[in-house]
Amino acid sequence: MLFVATSVAAGQSATGALTTGEAIYQAGCAGCHGPNGQGMPDTTIGFDKPATFPDFSDCRSTTPELDVDWRATIHAGGQGRGFSRIMPSFAEALTSAQIDAVIGYLRGLCRDRSYPRGELNSAAAAGDGESVSGRRDGDHDGSGRTPRAGRERRAGV
């Protein structure tokens, strides 16, 4: 727990001047979500990952996620949306422009452009967040791709 508290505090105080999604991610998020979005290894992450812990490189589980839901989670933290409170709130640390930038970076971690984005698929873009529950079956294929650093783009758009 000490590690988590320290890394969150460091991440949050370091994010103020950062503008690119990648810089924000590496400073504020990679300590838990890992340099490639796959999550830090269990041995070093410092907490038990909830079953819903995301793998941002896994197109199959992240493309149905809506930007509006991710924005809410990053702003309010996991607790604000009924997820694990380990996911901190960045309402104080990040501006909404920074949150949009880091979401753009998260989208780029899924490298397979054949997956259509949730927004393109769903009439529930303004939904209530129910779409996130029970969506992961734990069968991760397609991982092992190495996201190229320094690219910002929104996959599938």
A 10 A CB-CB count for 156 gives 18
- Minimum Å gap between C-beta 12 and ligand HEC is 8
Number of residues that make up the chain: 157
In the complex with ligand HEC, which residue's Cβ is closer, 80 or 145? Answer: 80
In the complex with ligand HEC, which residue's Cβ is closer, 30 or 113? Answer: 30
The residues near 139 (Cβ < 8 Å, ≥ 6 apart) are: none
Binding site for ligand HEC (CB under 6 A): 4, 8, 11, 24, 28-29, 31-33, 50, 52-54, 65, 70, 73-74, 78, 83-84, 86-88, 90, 102, 132
- Minimum Å gap between C-beta 81 and ligand HEC is 8
In the complex with ligand HEC, which residue's Cβ is closer, 3 or 145? Answer: 3
- Minimum Å gap between C-beta 1 and ligand HEC is 10
In the complex with ligand HEC, which residue's Cβ is closer, 1 or 148? Answer: 1
- Minimum Å gap between C-beta 131 and ligand HEC is 9
Instruction: State how far the Cα of 132 lies from the Cα of 26, in Å rounded to an integer.
Output: 25
